[in-house]
Structures are given as structure tokens and as C-alpha cells.
Amino acid sequence: MAWFTEYSDMITGESFAAYSSTSIEYVDDMGNTLEVPQHAAWCIKCGTIVNAEAFTTLLPMRRRMIELALVDPESKEAWMFPTRENALEARQELERLETFLSNRHSRPRCLECFSDELVEIPDEDEFGLPNGRRLKRCGFGHASMKIEPCFKLTPDGTIAK
């Protein structure tokens, strides 16, 4: 499945979209795969909004949500985990990913050019970039018409052979 997040420049109106995909995975030496945590970022090399690895931001956020769902299943942050079993499975998956990434040496990479020169995009509706542009998040959804990127990455975020 592919998802898009759309942004627009608040001055020029130029629009950007980042596409994440469940078919971008890490692969270990044994051939086991794990879904790559992804989020939109500004890539300095690409000069635009891209889909990027997001393990430094999404993993801690996911852990907080799982722990909250286990402690307080009625909280609104627990919506992703309808049952305790869902939350426990998600925690196991997260721990596998954390173990897999524990020897990671490089920073998160752009999933288009694999550069690590990224500017993180805050999870806010409007935000500024270091280049002075101000962007607004204007949409999010299922990208059913998009041809999904499909590849496997090493633990350091480069394409696996």
C-alpha cells in the first residue's frame, strides 16, 4: 500500500507530495524483512520534499503510543491498537526493528537519492524550512493510483543487493 502527504508553499503555491509505501523494507542477512519507518522530509540534495527513513522520530513516538495503549486502552492515542494483543504484537515488532537498527551507523536517509542530508518536517500543519520557505500540509491519503516503490534496504539504509 502507498500513502501520500501533500504540502504547498505558502507564498508560491508550489505543491509537493511524499509517498510512503509498505513495500519498502529492511532485510537482514537471513532474509528476514521489516517495514521501514517513513515520513516526509526536505532533502537538501533532491531540493524537494521526499519520503525518508524516520526511525529516529517514529520509533520513540510508536513506543509511547504502545505503552499508553497498554496502560490506558481507553485513551484516544490507543486507537491504533484495538486490543491488548494488538499492542503486544506491535511492541514485539518494534523491538525487532530496534534490535535490527541497533548497529546503525548512518543518519536517516532520503528514500529517493539515499543522501542523509535531510531536514526533518515537524508534525504540524504549517512550518518553516531552513531555506526560508514556509510550507503548509494540505492533504493525506491512500495513493491507490501510485506505482509503489518496492525495494529492500541494508541496516544502514542503502539498497540491498
Interface with Zn ion by CB under 5 A: which residues?
A: 43, 45-46, 50, 110, 112-113, 115
| Pairwise CA distance, residues 46 & 7, whole Å | 16
Which position has the grid cell 513516538?
61
Minimum gap (Å) between residue 101 Cβ and Zn ion: 20
Instruction: Pick between residue 52 and residue 69 the one whose CB is nearest to Zn ion.
Output: 52
| Pairwise CA distance, residues 90 & 49, whole Å | 29
Cell of 158: 542503502
Minimum gap (Å) between residue 47 Cβ and Zn ion: 8
Minimum gap (Å) between residue 103 Cβ and Zn ion: 24
Instruction: Pick between residue 57 and residue 90 the one whose CB is nearest to Zn ion.
Output: 57
Instruction: Pick between residue 155 and residue 157 the one whose CB is nearest to Zn ion.
Output: 157
Instruction: Pick between residue 46 and residue 59 the one whose CB is nearest to Zn ion.
Output: 46
Amino acid identity, residue 106? S
Minimum gap (Å) between residue 130 Cβ and Zn ion: 15
| Pairwise CA distance, residues 39 & 146, whole Å | 17
Largest CA distance in the chain: 49
Q: Which of 133, 120, 125, 139 is nearest to 39 (CA)?
A: 120
